[in-house]
Amino acid sequence: MAVTDYQGPAFDSNELKELKQKLVDASHILDDQGITDGFGHVSARIAGANAFITLAGVSPGCATVQRLVLLDFDGHYLGGDNAPPYEWPIHACILKARPEVASVCHTHSKWSSLFSVLKGGLPPVHMYAKFLPVAGPPIYPAAGLVGTVQRGEALVTALQDSAAVLLRAHGDAVVGASVEQALLRTVQLSFLGELAHRAVDHGEPLYLSAEELATFSADQAFPARPWEYYLSRIRARRSP
């Protein structure tokens, strides 16, 4: 273990057992939904500490609780499988800059990648876009993987206070107040990209206005339902 002032729970503690399983479940859901391939990762903040857990050099669809790693915001190894993802600064820099964020998903979604290179970005075509700015998610304009703190901080600058950012010719980073919320937003972002792509085949879309998004945002939400649904799908897949 690296020299650090980390005072949070140990990687193998019972306190982190549920959180680690959520990370594995979220990873399997992203794979089941066809959003990730061999790359991508989900992270979760350790409450009260400058640290997080994420996937340890493993594809999301192959994630297990044994193949997770605990890191501090400087990238120091604190426990688990000592194989941090190359783009760990995505998680560390966002979590450090946005204390209200508890989880970050990074994927190479084909839909996010597509709209990251279009001049118009991804404008809102469905009520699922209510968690995004009316102009759509901002775009991180730089090429290259986010494998350094400098690039991670530049990504944070592009993200600002949005819930998602598209990475040019790369993918996305999506944040949430919980693993469940970050996961659901990532799935919805993929849905929005596919729908926007299909919409132009039928004419010029009438994109949602700020007022329409506000109306949808004011409606009652049912956040537990989709998480339960997606869990049921991966559990059925795990069954012999």
Please provide residue 120's backbone torsions phi and psi, each rounded to the nearest 5 degrees. Answer: -85, -5
Please provide residue 28's backbone torsions phi and psi, each rounded to the nearest 5 degrees. Answer: -65, -35
Task: Note the pLDDT tens digit of each residue in 145-195.
Answer: 999 999 999 999 999 999 999 999 999 999 999 999 999 999 999 999 999
User: SS3 helix, strand, coil % of the chain, rounded to 5?
Assistant: 45, 15, 40
CA distance 240 to 237: 8
Task: Note the pLDDT tens digit of each residue in 76-135.
Answer: 999 999 999 999 999 999 999 999 999 999 999 999 999 999 999 999 999 999 999 999
The pTM of the full predicted model, rounded to 2 decimals, is 0.95
**Radius of gyration over every alpha carbon of the chain, rounded to an integer in angstroms:** 17
* DSSP letter (8 states) at residue 137: S
